[in-house]
Structures are given as C-alpha cells and as structure tokens.
Amino acid sequence: MAIVVPGVTLSSCGLTMPVIGMGTSSSPPVAPETTKAAIIEAIKAGYRHFDTAFAYRTEQPLGEAIAEALHLGLIKSRDELFITSKLWSSFAEKDLILPAIKMSLRNLQLDYIDLYLIHWPLKLSQEVRQMPVIREHIFPLDIKSVWEGMEECKNLGLTKAIGVSNFSCKKLEELLSTAKIPPAVNQVEMNPLWQQKKLREFCKARDIHVSAFSPLGANNTKWGDNRILECDVLEQIAKAKGKTTAQISIRWLYEQGVSTIAKSFNKERMKQNLDIFDWSLTEEESNKISQLPQRKGITFESILGPHDLVLELDAETLNEY
C-alpha cells in the first residue's frame, strides 16, 4: 500500500508541495536505467515529489520514468507529480536562463516544472567540465539580473514557482531587495547535526519555505559521511522507538516545518523514509536532538576548491550560524 505524503503550501505562490521528495543525485553517478527504475519504484511506494537538476544529469531518466509511470497507469496525470529542477551555475546569466529551463523541459519531456531553483549563489564559466575548478572560472552571481530571468520563466508558465538553493540570509536579503516575485523555497543542507536555526527563522519571517537536502548527511557520497546514521543520540532514540536513525532525522525535520529531499535507490529504505507520519518525537527526544553539536557537512570549498569567492560564501553561511 503506497504511503500518502502530506503537502505544504508555498506561501508566495499558493502551490502545494509534498513534504518529502526523492533526490536523484548520485555520487558517483549511476546508469540512467538505474535512476529510471528507482524512480518508478518510488512512485509505486508513494513518492510524488522528485528533485533533479541539470548538473545531476538525471532530468532525462526522470522524464522517461514519468512517461513510463503514465503508460503503466501508476499515475493518471503528470499533474499528480511535483518536479523540482535547478538552474546550473554555467547558465546563471540573464540571457541564458530561458534556454536553460527549455533544455531541462526537453530533457524531462514536460511542458512545465513545478519549482525551478538557482542551484548555487555563484556563476561558473561554461568551460567548467569538472570539480574543483580554477579561480578564473568562478564569478560572483548578479542576483538582480539572474532573478529577473527566473521571474520571466514563471511569468511565461515554464515553472509554477521559483526559488533558490544554498543561499545565506545575506544573499536572500540582497535578492529580496529587488525581487518582484519573492523566492518560494530555499533548499539548503539541513539535518540534526546542522540545524540552520537562524536561517530558518529568517526564512519563516519572510514566507520562504525551507527544504532540506542531505537529511542523512549525504552518506556514501564523496562529500558526505555517516555521522547522522551513526550518531549515538539518534541511534538511541531510534532503538527506543523501533525506527531507523534515518526515520528519526526525517521526522525531526518534518516537525521543524521543513520539507525533505531524501535520496535512496534501495526499495526498502525508500519506503522507510516515507514512513514517518503516524508517530512523533517526544519533547525529551526533541530536546536531546536540539542540543547536538553542530557542524556543516558540505562546503563550497570542498567541491570547488579554496578560492577567495568560494571561501567568502562558506564564511557567510558559517558566520550566520
């Protein structure tokens, strides 16, 4: 029996987004067929929100999986799904944004995306083919003009909502000072060991919904680790409740009013990650989690290299904590 995932209404546009989405980024990358098969299994399990990006190279297999799910009758209409994709940093220039979203729509075989996000708060040269990058290939993001391009995507009906990813309070403030359409979502790293309290308060006061990636610490990726899944406090709570540490982390995020992008291509864990709605954490358990020592897992430096602009972005996030 598929689990029905509740939705959250995005204040700035009235759109309803399922509170748990399935991530499609794999590091190292997997074959497109593997991604497609996992997405079809996820639809069977009850997932209706899928998170992709041009940079993940999973838009195409996601599009194929949606077409197959429709053909198999797993869903009656594309409108049953909520699809998030992201503007890659090499296209973070006003004139390149419309061509970029149209390319994503072609990859996905869709007429519209539900949510289109600016992937990173910086611009990269189109020559970038691998990470880390050389300093000459990194530029500051012209937030005003890039956001105008994002607004155009929404005004043309190519996406129902627009937002950002990996933005600090400082970057959001800059965006809000000129935006005609406010960002609906800020997708950031968040989990019990990186709780983002200040950013959450900032976003809540401005009706920006926070969505969490790496809810499980991005275990089994080159930039993540197993510190969530092997955290003693979370393990003890999980054991006492007969749950997994992953379920405790996702439930904790849900109780903070945050949506979650959880990635597992394992059929059993996929189902477990959705099974968090008919139980709750006690006040004592929540207090224990709120006191966990905090450390950011993923930095721009670890991906792009130790360049001044990159270190500046990391410092912004860390200084706000």
Asked if residue 1 belongs to a domain, the reply is: no
pLDDT at 259 over 90: yes
| pLDDT computed for residue 220 by the predictor | 52
pTM for this one? 0.96
Q: Which of 1-5, 32-36, 136-140, 207-211 has the lowest mean pLDDT?
A: 1-5
**What's the 3-state SS for the chain?**
CCCCCCEEEECCCCEEEECEEEECCCCCCCCHHHHHHHHHHHHHHCCCEEECCHHHCCHHHHHHHHHHHHHHCCCCCHHHCEEEEEECHHHCCHHHHHHHHHHHHHHHCCCCEEEEEECCCEEECCCCCCCCCCHHHEEECCHHHHHHHHHHHHHCCCEEEEEEECCCHHHHHHHHCCCCCCCCEEEEECECCECCHHHHHHHHHCCCEEEEECCCCCCCCCCCCCCCCCCHHHHHHHHHHCCCHHHHHHHHHHHCCCEEEECCCCHHHHHHHHCCCCCCCCHHHHHHHHCCCCCCCCCHHHHHCCCHHHHHHHHHHHHCC
Asked if residue 207 belongs to a domain, the reply is: yes
Of 47, 56, 112, 116, the catalytic one is: 56
Q: What is the CATH number of the domain that holds 58?
A: 3.20.20.100
Residue 56 annotated in active site: yes
| pLDDT computed for residue 221 by the predictor | 53
Residue 71 in marked binding region: no
Asked if residue 2 belongs to a domain, the reply is: no
Total structural domains in the chain?
A: 1
Asked if residue 282 belongs to a domain, the reply is: yes
Structural domain harbouring 302 = 7-319
pLDDT at 319 over 90: no
